[in-house]
Amino acid sequence: MVQHGRGLSPWAPKPDPEEARREQRRERWLWFVRYGVPILIAISGVLVMALASDRQVGIEIGAMLLGAAIAVFLLNFFFRMGVSGDTARDEEEAARRYFDQHGRWPDDP
């Protein structure tokens, strides 16, 4: 007898009710690291520029913080761009496996 699906087995894997909340929390943290950290660094740079008692030193330190904010943002941006190339390679590898099994590309009619 062949059984398809989860069936009535007590050992069948059950859906995790917390999985959606964990994924949502993960997405919020990723947004904060990608955009929030550079924004906070840039805000601190602007504040140092505006509030420093020695104008020359405040502008230099603020400019360094703005440069650091840009560097953090670009680091995240280029990392994401590099990871997206991995996705394209994985899709190409899946298409090659399909070609090896069926003798044609997946998008051919």
Summarize pLDDT for 19-43 with one digit per residue, the tens.
889 999 999 999 999 999 999 999 9
What SS3 state is found at 97?
Answer: helix
Residue 79 domain flag: yes
Return the residue matching tokens 């502008």: 59
Q: Is the pLDDT of residue 53 over 80?
A: yes
Are the beta carbons of 48 and 67 closer than 8 angstroms?
Answer: no
Q: What's the whole-number mean pLDDT along residues 87-105?
A: 84
Residue 38 domain flag: yes
Are the beta carbons of 33 and 75 closer than 8 angstroms?
Answer: no
Number of folded domains that form the chain: 1
Supply φ then ψ for residue 99, to 5 degrees: -65, -40
Residue 58 domain flag: yes
Closest-CA residue to 106 (of 92, 86, 87): 92
Position with higher pLDDT, 102 vs 47: 47
Spatial separation of the C-alpha atoms in residues 70 and 85, rounded to whole Å: 23
Residue 53 domain flag: yes
Spatial separation of the C-alpha atoms in residues 69 and 76, rounded to whole Å: 11
Residue 95 domain flag: no
Residue 12 domain flag: no
Quote the domain boundaries for residue 76.
21-83
